[in-house]
Chains A and B, each alone.
Chain A
């Protein structure tokens, strides 16, 4: 699940893609391309998700029951498969968020520059 930025490669921590997908879908149903684009723009082009990672992740999340999908026509009149967060998916997102916050805090504490 290597995610490339324009300038340099960032190896995203395992599992964070799932979390990001859930995060983005909480604002409403979206199709795969839109999800990838949202991640890219929200990360200010630092993260670019490959379709090869995105779609397996989407299908996995759907198997888990956190997402549902349906075919709909977009505003531009194209047919696309839209993913939507389920209730359990929302719960999962909350859990992931708090886990992530704690992890960030922990890493931040370890990585602070000054030595006691």
Chain B
């Protein structure tokens, strides 16, 4: 396939596809208020939103790793299950991917809000979840974890499972098999998933504003700050969007090469 020539039709349509993805971003770059950018970027609100976004995004990614890797293992394991539970499990993990994030935010409120099924106990204990950075992390984890789960599951599926069996036969404990065989095999998948997860968490808007709200320095992440700025100062909104774009693209470029030497195949 790699050696074969690409048909001109495919190449043309692919070029249109690439233009659909890349041209809007080019528009953002062209219209960005470059001369004012330094002033806009060092303003308090931008730095505040950036710090909050990076902080919550990192914590969400860590949470996605801790919860998502075992979930991916369960998903891979479910291949041997009955059709019904197997499909239900896959659907449950897929839903946050396809759900409008605002609806995800409302669902989170109904569960963890001050009057939510579980949230009311927290509220009674004086630990309201909404309007806190913790709520931002939960919203981000909800929308981002499927990316990690599917990336890791893909890596698990592609791995040669007989190696694990061999390790066990040679006397490795379950933990040793996991630590010294499974993890290294799927490490590229985990890293790729974590990067996707982090960038998705950074860009999260709908679930966050619905569930966590928007207060500067507490829950107002970069995408929310950018959306609000659009209402009054489009130049600042573009500056904020640019920061988000640079951070996301930077993470994707830097980490893919450093962490993922194995995915070239």
> Do the two shown chains form a genuine complex with each other?
no
